[in-house]
Chain A
Amino acid sequence: MKNTVEIRWHGRGGQGAKTAALLLADVAFKTGKYVQGFPEYGPERMGAPITAYNRISRDPITIHSNIYSPDYVVVVDDGLITSIDVTQGLKKNGAVIVNTERGREEIVSQLRRHGWKGSVYTVDARKISVEALGRYYPNSPMLAAVVAVSGVVTPAEFLKEMEDSFAHKFAKKPEVIEGNMKALDMTFAALAEDGRNPVRKSA
């Protein structure tokens, strides 16, 4: 991991992009990093496009502005990529991760239309979540995907911290812990399988 990694999340109000950004900050915090997780609110309503941000660093962070040149962009709702340029300012050697049920080629071609030439990763969070948990909770697969692609924490550290956190959160519902852990494993496996092998071994 480079010294400071900046991540921008795109989603719609109510989908949990802000929560996911805060969860990522939590995991990175627990592995000893300095973190920021913060939302940018437009009109407060369900379904409106929202942006959330993460800064994760080995050093204290003082900057309080939004992130305009992120290292990674995470898109929780693929419907957004036709209406806004989610890759705006994204570093050339960065990557965009899109939650989608559509084929990767379609997403790539839509992103290329905005001039993005860099890496694209797609995750079918719905498929993974429904199979692992029986319901659609996109946060666990999206978190696993951003960890796999960015390497802000190692997969091993990530899995350990998430298990601890789920154990705490779902103490009375152990079956949910298992399902969530399965969703994380499935995401790592799906990303490793599709040939571009983004899962980084070290942070």
Chain B
Amino acid sequence: MAIRERLSGNEAVAYAIKQINPDVMPAFPITPSTEIPQYVANYIANGKVDTEFIHVESEHSAMSAAVGASAAGARVVTATSSCGMALMWEELYVAASDRLPVVLALVNRALSGPININADHSDSMGARDAGWIQIYAESNQEVYDNFLQAYPIAEHESVHLPVMICQDGFITSHGVENILLVEDEKVKEFVGEYCPAHYLLKKEEPMAVGPYAVSSYYMETKRGQREAMKNARQVILDVAKRFEEMTGRKYGFFEEYRMEDAEYVIVLIGSAAGTCKAAVDKIRERSGKKVGLLKIRVFRPFPEEELAQALKDRKAVAVLDRSEMFSATGGPLGTEVRSALYGAKSKAGVVNYFYGLGGRDITVEDFEEVYTKLEKLAQTHKAEDMYAYIGLREK
């Protein structure tokens, strides 16, 4: 029987870490992810886990230590947010190119400046090209469930890539919600032991990790990472299937909410999906208009074909980005979704809006307005405000 609890998103991740009992956790505190290493440090102090906690002097060192420990053959976790992740930048790429299955609990927060501690995806979206698998959550339940699935994905022999488990700062990290926890024994069995085939401390097989690669090797390394990322697609689905067998909770690359007959669709990532669901229910109940939501769970690898298939025959689609990339056109999610639809020769009207930057709230009413605009777009075939900011103060 699942354990009925109420936890914040940070508590839920820390609880998952306790259940998994990884070998090493190097971490440096930063709001809003600070509580995760803090709770794990408590578990360690109280003898609940025997994880080796490394008190590092910066996030740069946290990810360096994670790379070192993982190369040595340990199962490693760390946690960070925002500018903390920015300080890890160099090592994020090292972890990925060294094919180290490190798991990073990322609590998404805006990057400076101006200084802001609230939810925003600019940290992980900036790192989308680093070679990490990225999995996002709508709720505390989802971030817990995603975390349990992280190691089986990361450590799979055909993948061997680091995984970022992302959740929205404060909205889920500090918000307490009902949650169903999985029993310890089931978690242990599900996640399994980490037995890497190759690792630095294996004395029968002396090896180097992360040496200089001349031009005649670098590109092949990248190709290897690319193949691993492609392999991750099937592994993510297989692990989700196994998770569903254990818990009854179904996961994929994305969640389709009331999409069977939907003509007007919002595509987004993260906690705002729950608010959007309430808008979908409200509109369908009030007017019967065929509105739906597609919530991205896996952003890296990008589920291009599946997304295009799910969206191409809709009348109009609004892709909502929670981070700027200052192309002065679209955002990271919008650009990739449009590219996928172009490849599928879709005739759906597409707009790409920005919302929630630096924690700006988005409400059910805001989503209702987006659906109204989509209806208009489908009628006029004219996107009047292609890259609008939702909820911007005009005065």
Q: Which listed residue, B174, B278, B361, touches A66 by the CB 8 Å rule?
A: B361
Contact B170 A41 (CB under 8 A): yes
B178 A29 Cβ-Cβ under 8 A: yes
In contact, B278 and A62 (Cβ under 8 angstroms): yes
Instruction: Judge whether B176 is part of the interface by a CB distance below 8 angstroms.
Output: yes
B contact residues around A64 at 8 Å (CB): 138-139, 168, 171-172, 175, 271-272, 274-275
A36 contacts chain B at the CB level, 8 A cutoff: yes
Q: Is the CB of A41 within 8 A of B117?
A: yes
Question: Do residues B275 and A39 form an inter-chain contact, with CB atoms below 8 A?
Answer: no
User: Is A93 part of the contact surface with B, judged by Cβ < 8 Å?
Assistant: no
Known contacts A26-B6, A38-B171, A41-B117; A62/B277 CB under 8 A: yes
A44 in the interface, Cβ–Cβ < 8 Å?
yes
Are B363 and A68 interface neighbours, CB within 8 A? yes
Across the interface, B278 reaches (CB within 8 A) one of A37, A63, A68, namely: A63
User: In this complex, which of A29, A38, A62, A68 has the most chain B Cβ atoms within 10 angstroms of its Cβ?
Assistant: A62
What's the least CB distance linking B278 to chain A, in Å? Answer: 5
Complex Cα spacing A68 to B363, Å: 9
Q: Which residues of A contact B363 (CB under 8 A)?
A: 65-66, 68
Contact (Cβ within 8 A) B275 A62:
yes
Q: Does B157 contact A (CB under 8 A)?
A: no
Shortest Cβ distance from A45 into chain B, in angstroms?
Answer: 12
> CA separation between A65 and B356, bound complex, in Å?
10
Q: Which of A43-74 contact B (CB under 8 A)?
A: 44, 60-66, 68
Contact status B177-A61, CB under 8 Å: yes
CA distance A64 to B363 in the complex (A): 8
Measured in the bound complex, the distance between the Cα atoms of B273 and A165 in whole Å is 34
Pair B274/A62 contact, Cβ less than 8 Å = yes
Q: Is B247 an interface residue (CB 8 A)?
A: no
B362 within 8 A of A: yes
Given contacts A62-B275, A64-B271, A65-B364, contact A34 B171 (CB under 8 A): no
Residues on A with beta carbons closer than 8 Å to the beta carbon of B176: 22, 25, 35-38
Interchain nearest-CB distance for A1 vs B (Å) = 17
Contact of B31 among A22, A44, A60, A62 (CB under 8 A): A44
A22, A39, A65 interface centre (most CB from chain B within 10 Å): A65
Q: Which residue of B lies closest to A60 (CB)?
A: B178
Number of interface residues of A (CB under 8 A): 21
The one of B118, B174, B274, B277 in contact with A38, judged by C-beta atoms closer than 8 angstroms, is B174
The residue in chain B whose Cβ has the minimal distance to the Cβ of A54 is B176
* Chain B, range 346-369, C-beta contacts under 8 Å to A: 361-364
- Report A77 CB to chain B, min CB distance, Å: 21
- CB proximity to B under 8 Å, residues A1-57: 22, 25-26, 29, 34-41, 44
A39 to B138, CA, bound (A): 17
Restricting to B143-185, which residues have a CB under 8 Å from any CB of A? Answer: 168, 170-172, 174-178
* Distance A111 CA – B152 CA, assembled complex (angstroms): 57
Q: Which residues of A contact B138 (CB under 8 A)?
A: 62, 64
Assuming the A-B contacts A29-B6, A64-B272, are A34 and B178 also in contact, with contact meaning beta carbons closer than 8 angstroms in the complex?
A: yes
Cα A203 to Cα B93 in complex, Å, equals 55
A65 touches B175 (CB 8 A): no
- In the complex the two chains form, is A38's CB within 8 Å of B275's CB? no
Residues in chain B near residue A61, CB distance under 8 A:
177, 274
B-side contacts of A35, CB under 8 Å: 6, 176-178
A36 — nearest CB in chain B belongs to which residue?
Answer: B177
Residue among A44, A61, A63 with most chain B CB within 10 A: A63
Interfacial chain B residues near A38, Cβ < 8 Å:
170-171, 174-176
Give complex CA distance A40, B138 in Å.
18
- Which A residues lie within 8 Å of B278 (CB)? 62-63
Q: Which residues of A contact B174 (CB under 8 A)?
A: 38-39
Provide the bound-state CA to CA distance between A22 and B176, in Å: 7
CB distance from B118 to the nearest CB of A (A): 7
A26 to B4 CA separation, bound complex (whole angstroms)? 12
Kindly list chain B residues whose C-beta atoms are within 8 Å of the C-beta of A39: 170, 174
Shortest distance in angstroms between A19's beta carbon and chain B's nearest beta carbon?
A: 11
Q: Give the residue among B6, B170, B171, B174 with the most A Cβ atoms within 10 A.
A: B6
> In the complex, which residues of chain B have a beta carbon less than 8 angstroms from the beta carbon of A44?
31, 117
Give chain B nearest CB distance to A55 CB in angstroms: 9
Q: Could you write out 25 A-B pairs with CB less than 8 Å apart?
A: A22-B176, A26-B6, A29-B6, A35-B6, A35-B178, A36-B175, A36-B176, A36-B177, A38-B171, A40-B170, A41-B118, A41-B170, A44-B117, A61-B177, A61-B274, A62-B139, A62-B274, A62-B275, A63-B275, A63-B278, A63-B364, A64-B139, A64-B172, A64-B272, A64-B274
Q: Top 10 closest A-B pairs, CB basis?
A: A62-B274, A38-B175, A29-B6, A64-B271, A37-B176, A65-B363, A64-B274, A62-B277, A63-B278, A65-B275
Known: A35-B176, A39-B174; 12 extra A-B contacts, CB below 8 A, are A29-B6, A29-B178, A35-B6, A36-B175, A37-B175, A37-B176, A41-B170, A60-B178, A62-B274, A62-B277, A64-B271, A64-B275
Binding site for A on B (CB under 8 A): 6, 31, 117-118, 138-139, 168, 170-172, 174-178, 271-275, 277-278, 361-364
Q: Using a CB–CB distance below 8 Å, which chain A residues touch chain B? A: 22, 25-26, 29, 34-41, 44, 60-66, 68
